[in-house]
Chain A
Amino acid sequence: MNIAVCVKQTADTESIPKLSSDQSHVSDEGIVWIINPHDESAIEIAIRLRDQCNGSVTLFSIGPERVESALRQGLSMGADEAVHLLTDAMPIDQKIIAELLARRLKSQNIDVIITGEVAIDGGGAQVPQRLAKLLHWSCVTAVEELHIEATSFTARQPVEQGDKIHEGQLPAVIGINRRIMEPRYPSFKGIMKAKRKEIVKESVELESPSYSIESLRLSAPRSEGKVVTYQQGVVDKTIKFLQEKTSVI
Chain B
Amino acid sequence: MFEITVVGESQGSELVSSTLEACHVASKLSNALGVNWRIIVDEDAANSAINYGSEVISYSIGEEHKQSPDVIASTVTEILEPTKVIVMAATSTGKDLMGRIAQLLSAPLAQDCIGFEIDSGDVLFKRELYGGKVLANVKLSGSPILASFRPRSFTPIDRLDTPAVAQLHSIDILLSEPTVILKPRSQKENLDVTEASIVVSGGRGLQGPENWTILEELTDALGPTATLACSRPVSDEGWRPHNEHVGQTGRSISPDLYIAVGISGATQHIAGISGSKFILAINKDPDAPIFRVADYGIVGDLFQIVPELTSAIRNAHTI
Contact = CB atoms under 8 A, between A and B. Distances in A.
B297 A227 contact: yes
Interface residues of B, number: 93
Nearest to A235: B308
Contacts of B274: 219, 222
B108 A210 contact: yes
B291 A126 contact: no
B183 A215 contact: no
Contacts of A219: 128, 132-135, 274
B245 interface: yes
Contacts of A167: 178-180
Nearest to A98: B103
A14 B292 CA distance: 15
A133 B130 contact: no
A222 B129 CA distance: 16
B267 interface: yes
A225 B130 contact: no
A89 to B, nearest CB: 16
Interface in B213-258: 222, 225, 235, 242-243, 245, 248-250, 256-257
Contact of A142 (B92, B136, B225, B278): B92
Given A13-B267, A142-B92, A164-B182, A246 B256 contact: yes
Contact of A141 (B16, B99, B316): B99
A123 B128 contact: yes
B172 to A, nearest CB: 19
Contact of B102 (A130, A139, A218, A246): A130
A11 interface: yes
Interface string A24-67: 00100000000001100000000000000000000000000000
A179 interface: yes
Contacts of A212: 138-139, 141
Interface of B, helix, strand, loop or mixed by DSSP? mixed
Given A214-B119, A229-B300, A161 B243 contact: no
Contact of A161 (B98, B131, B185, B291): B185
A41 to B, nearest CB: 9
B32 interface: no
A226 interface: yes
Contact of B249 (A124, A127, A153, A178): A178
Contacts of A2: none
Nearest to A38: B249
B195 interface: yes
A134 interface: yes
B134 A222 contact: no
Nearest to B119: A214
A178 B124 CA distance: 31
B27 interface: no
B167 interface: no
B197 interface: yes
A211 B110 contact: yes
Contacts of A247: 256
B111 A215 contact: no
A35 to B, nearest CB: 13
Contacts of B91: 159-160
Interface in B182-221: 182-185, 192, 194-195, 197-198
A126 B111 contact: yes
A243 B316 contact: yes
Interface string B285-319: 01000011111111111001100110011001000
A13 B291 contact: no
Contacts of B121: none
Interface in B129-156: 129-142
Interface centre among B69, B70, B130, B309 (most CB of A within 10 A): B130
Given A11-B130, A161-B185, A124 B111 contact: yes
30 contacts: A19-B134, A26-B129, A95-B102, A95-B109, A120-B271, A123-B127, A124-B111, A127-B99, A138-B177, A139-B100, A142-B96, A158-B92, A160-B92, A160-B195, A168-B179, A177-B249, A178-B249, A209-B141, A211-B110, A215-B137, A216-B129, A219-B274, A222-B279, A225-B279, A229-B298, A230-B299, A230-B305, A238-B309, A246-B257, A249-B313
Interface of B: 11, 16, 67, 69-70, 91-93, 95-96, 98-100, 102-104, 106-112, 119, 124, 127-142, 177-185, 192, 194-195, 197-198, 222, 225, 235, 242-243, 245, 248-250, 256-257, 267-268, 271, 274, 277-280, 286, 291-301, 304-305, 308-309, 312-313, 316
State the 4 A-B residue pairs at the shortest beta-carbon distance, nearest first. A168-B178, A230-B300, A129-B99, A126-B99
Given A128-B99, A178-B249, 6 more contacts: A120-B248, A120-B249, A140-B178, A144-B242, A168-B178, A211-B139
